[in-house]
Structure 1
């Protein structure tokens, strides 16, 4: 049971959104009563995906990518119809898979869920689970514990189900051996490069050729339509700077949330588990008890021997190899019987036999850390930031509609909205239909709005758009440049260089092909090859994919073999002088067989998912989905 954590830590990079798994009692958590909108983005076998759920999924995808990419994050990539459709497809697939998992009676126990949460670094302080940090982290992300735990339970069930299917693929040992041998096969290869640069001086580009290239490729020399814009940014984050939090408010918050700043008593313990199956007979249970009692007597005679006895006899795979060490834990992290026994003991004491749903435990407490609390002074800055954030968020939500209305009602200038909300009117560099030099403008909806006839000809404010959570932007065009072709004289030099490179490469290819033909006819002195190097498909030693393909297409029965590869910068002649078959170890073969099996399992899983989708009744509200992309 205790090794479950290590297998699932990678799942806890914040989960997407609450679906349909019901919440449960965990640390006495309250029930979640979420509001449900009647607008349905889709319906899967009669089960709705609401507009609210879809919006939350989109937001959380953005939040995850923002955390991953930092300053490189671009919210615009999530604001396209294609991305929204992809996210909705993912939600539909999860609904279908979860339905199948529930039918198959797959479940995640409360104990498993506790272990996953308690072992998550984001919820720990000093490598130990801290409930206050857990609840604070969830609160910052907009979750209640019940919401998060229900979402986590759902995702673990899905992971259990999809992993079982994806890992079910089978690759034969014979096929795996053939593929492994092909990948490991080594070939000694020498190279001779005929560079296009050596032919450049022989190339003469006539004026008429330049003109013809210019006429045939005018789109390459087009300067796109451009605009410069003024814009204002209204955000909840900026509003925090104007908030002032009084000492009484900070103290009141601290007192009413004192549990968040208290760390529970921690225990460190080691144990021996003699497991008992759930369906064990009375005789089997009695035999397990007898074994556990015998071990307990040995531990009581020599408490320090518990570690060695755990390595030899404990049925807990997660702790046995570590001498039964379970690390530190607080109340609520272990099953009830184990917890009650561990928290009754003093440091160094050994329990009697403790019976739980897993079997019989022998517990020795090896350390105790008393409960600790952080003082008001220690958390003052943290509380002040939280209160400012909450207050600014409320005011932003209240003011967002008024901000949007003012930008719309006074469309000829951004000054009124800037003055009312104490915002700076900023000016961008040149903006095209595809991109903007300012992140808040680099949004497909915003760019589309700025390039409408009304925005360009009438210089009207755009509507206020939410370009990221808690950030509204309105902009107006102040300068416009139509699309235009660059004069031929401005690009003549570039064209001459392009045509020269192309002609020089053609001459290099011609010479290379001739040399290759001589080599194949037996004239080994046609070129002077460089030193040989040994390459394989697994270890190409920097050889390009085109060259590697040519090397391994060469007939190994006729050595030396020759091959040629035409490249943009010349022609590469290759000499394959030796082929070596490499023995494949059993471990390597087994790893490849597993890899190929997983690839096959993944294909089977995709086919299975496609079958579920084909047999399900899925209805998508395209109008609402498009509305979300173009509100």
Structure 2
């Protein structure tokens, strides 16, 4: 059988057929092989080759596409950063459960995708960020400045304090990528402009003033007429969502407050001395050295010849710096490759141990005051170091810090006692998770009750957002178990249990009959008042003045409002908005309109004159500022349109399971 198979497949026709079959199977095989790997991406971005922008993604040539992705770690970092930002902004109102929603995750991911698409577009268009641009961006970061000027020491400390820590080259690469990403959109945003004619028209509208008269009508006359059963039923059926009882719960809870627990005994002398020995470094002022340096940078990947040349240059600079009368600062300004300290003569300020890379630090702390080192090699290149001054470290004695130690130990003891108390309480609740009463009796603390309450009328401890979220959580409602400790403030927490729950429900007509009757009557009164106002408005449109209308109804004369500016709350913002919404009156005529006050009363008004804003009265500097702001608004719209267009030119695949 195998021989027959070999004979059948040895002809040239069979060879061609097999060859054609191999091609698709090869691509399928590759895809299957790659598919077996663990996918650590949250989103994949695929861009067609620049030489075929319209290439379909299903075509085999897609292997030549440009592929990028957003990893789980990158997404998680962005997600946590946004979580911290919103928590700091919203405080106790921050809802951690709502933040974890899928919609919120997609919104954060969309921001990352937009940024990556912008960077990809800049790379494909050949946009390059120069070293000078990177340096300028870094030196303009306020966190790296002291008294408004870039400070190299502050810069190094800031990089070292990041988690994880970054060196200068890593941070420069981050800045470079960020600048590259923003180049296109920044250019588009900055290219928007507003013409002089557009500004004149806008300023004329913004500065427009109107002469108006307003006549508030009296409140609607209360309706006391009978309400039929049919009217009641119709209103109830049409406003069913209005007559609902909100979801409500009743809880029992216990409090653990370190301030009310018995105070622990004061710490003895031995405990305080032991704490002092353990934390001795806190009370030690580290030795500091005032240093300057000259850096001869060695490019990454430089060959031996370049390394040697840099070392020789550093040796020559060291010799010049050691020469009698030499000006080290001048040499640094003329020769140093350290952009952060070059302009200030190589000054690094006061340096403590741990602030500099190992070889630099070892050399600096082995020097004597006034000494200049020979070339010192680090990952950045060769350094010539000058030690200008030093401050010896100092150690505070136990007696000097005893009061601080005692206060801190007492606080620690209180926190530990509260923690142990809370732990014992939790252990007891775990033995009987369906009731707080046994644990409260065992720990001799009161068992308190609260409710029923809804999300909108919670009081006491239930008004705390964290307690409110727990009280209405599905777990506590469905299981009837006890919550974990919920912190109200440091050292003060509660444990709660939902004892009863009433879901949101429709109120029966019998329960709200009086409310429905009142609503029907209020609606009839409002409609009658509106109909009356419409009739009065028709009389004004027919040529009757507001004064005559007021006199016919024995109302106070209308209020005259000359030169009302746009946005003025006269008599209320809604009325002013309506005054500026009507068309400008013809010569000798008035424009007529009506609005409603917050208390429901109707206001009739007329506009007799419109005065455009005086464009020439705005100072040139202020006009320019407004013009830039308006252009900025338009630029932001252009950026959104551009990013949307960029998204359409790439294929984005979201890996939902990794969100």
Is the shorter-chain TM-score for this pair beyond 0.5, marking a shared fold?
A: yes
Match of 2:466 in 1: 440
Q: Is the 8 A contact 1:564 1:573 kept in 2?
A: yes
Partner residue, 1:605: 639
Closer, same or farther: CA 415–521 of 1 in aligned 2, 3 Å: closer
Write the mapping of 1:164-175 to structure 2, written as runs, cut at 5 A. Answer: 164-175=187-198
Return the match for 1:68 from 89, 111, 129. Answer: 89
CA separation of 1:620/1:214 partners in 2, compared to 1, >3 Å: closer, same or farther? same
After superposition, the C-alpha distances for 1:343-385 in whole angstroms (9 at most, x for unaligned) are 79xxxxxxxxxxxxxxxxxxxxxxx998998968689969998
Helix, strand or coil at the partner of 1:577: strand
Instruction: Say whether the 8 Å CA contact 2:247–2:505 is kept in structure 1.
Output: yes
CA 1:442–1:145: 2 relative to 1, 3 Å? farther
1:570 aligned onto 2:593:
no
What is the aligned partner in structure 2 of residue 616 from structure 1?
A: 650
Question: Structure 2: how far apart are the matches of 1:415 and 1:472?
Answer: 17
Alpha carbons of 1:177 and 1:251: their partners in 2 closer, same or farther (altered >3 Å)? Answer: farther
For these two proteins, the number of residue pairs brought into alignment is: 481
**Of 129, 136, 143, the match for 1:117:** 143
Contact persistence 2:287–2:390 (CA under 8 A): no
C-alpha displacement at 1:559, in angstroms? Answer: 4.1
Preserved CA contact (<8 Å) 2:253 2:495: yes
Contact 1:79–1:444 (8 Å) recurs in 2: no
The aligned residue for residue 31 of structure 1 is: none
Alignment partner for residue 498 of structure 1, among 519, 529, 548?
519
Alignment equivalent of 1:221, drawn from 243, 247, 272: 243
Counterpart for residue 510 of structure 1: 531
> How far apart, CA to CA, are the structure 2 residues paired with 1:136 and 1:343?
15
Is the aligned partner of 1:184 residue 2:185?
no
CA deviation string 1:403-426 (max 9, x = no partner):
999999986567999999999998
Contact 1:226 1:480 in 2 (8 A): yes
Aligned counterpart, 2:43? 42
1:501 CA drift (Å): 3.1
1: CA distance, partners of 2:180 / 2:486? 35
Length-normalised TM-score, structure 1: 0.58
Q: Secondary structure at the match of 1:228?
A: strand
Kindly state the Cα deviation for residue 445 of structure 1 after the two structures are TM-superposed: 12
Query: Structure 1 residue 616: deviation in Å?
Result: 3.0
Shift of 1:115: 5.2
Cα contact 1:561–1:577 (8 A) shared by 2: yes
Aligned-partner Cα distance in 2 for 1:89–1:381: 50
Aligned to 1:521: 542
CA deviation map 1:266-320 (0-9, x unaligned): 99xxxxxxxxxxxxxxxxxxxxxxxxxxxxxxxxxxxxxxxxxxxxxxxxxxxxx
Distance 1:404 1:214, change over 3 A: same
Cα RMSD after superposing both structures: 5.9
Query: Separation in 2 of the partners of 1:577 and 1:183?
Result: 19
Q: Is the 8 A contact 1:560 1:575 kept in 2?
A: no
Q: Of the candidates 216, 222, 236, which is equivalent to residue 193 of structure 1?
A: 216
| Equivalent residue, structure 1, for 2:561 | 532
Paired residue secondary structure (1:195): coil
Q: Deviations over 1:396-448 (max 9, x none)?
A: 9xxx9xx9999999865679999999999986644668997442244499724
Matches for 1:85-96 after TM superposition, within 5 Å: 85-96=106-117
Conserved 8 A contact 1:264-1:372? no
Look up the match of 2:322: none
Q: Does 1:143 align with 2:163?
A: yes
Q: Which residue of 1 aligns with 2:307?
A: none
CA distance in 1, matches of 2:652, 2:610: 56
CA pair 554-341 structure 1, distance change in 2 beyond 3 A = closer
Counterparts in 2 of 1:445 and 1:478: CA distance versus 1, 3 Å: closer
Deviation at 1:532, TM superposition (A): 1.8
CA spacing shift, 1:473–1:540, aligned 2, 3 Å: closer
Contact residue 192 and residue 572 of structure 1 kept, 8 A: yes
Please say if 1:157 is aligned against 2:179.
yes
CA distance in 1, matches of 2:274, 2:112: 45
Partners of 2:171 and 2:450 lie apart in 1 by 45
From the superposition, tell whether residues 405 and 507 of structure 1 become closer, same or farther in structure 2 (CA, over 3 Å): same
Unpaired segments ≥5 residues, structure 1: 1-36, 235-240, 268-331, 345-367, 626-631
Q: Give the unaligned 5+ runs of structure 2.
A: 1-37, 47-66, 257-262, 293-337, 351-388, 551-556
Paired with 2:163 and 2:234, the residues of 1 have a C-alpha distance of 63
Separation (CA, whole Å) in 2 of partners of 1:232 and 1:147: 50
- For the 8 Å contact 2:114–2:647, the answer to whether it is kept is yes
Comparing 605-614 with 40-49, greater Cα deviation is found at 40-49
Query: Does the aligned pair in 1 maintain the 2:252–2:497 contact within 8 Å?
Result: yes
Residue from 332, 337, 344 that aligns with 1:338: 344
Distance in 2 of aligned mates of 1:264 and 1:496: 84
- In 2, Cα distance between equivalents of 1:138 and 1:473: 39
TM superposition shift of 1:191: 0.5
- Match in the other structure for 1:590: 624
Question: Within 1, Cα distance between the matches of 2:652 and 2:446?
Answer: 47
Matches of 1:421 and 1:612, distance apart in 2: 64
The whole-number CA distance in structure 1 between the counterparts of 2:210 and 2:519 is: 36
Task: Indicate conservation of the 8 Å contact 1:232/1:474, yes or no.
Answer: yes
Q: Equivalents in 1 of 2:68, 2:405: separation in Å?
A: 41
Q: Is 165-174 or 427-436 further displaced after alignment? A: 427-436
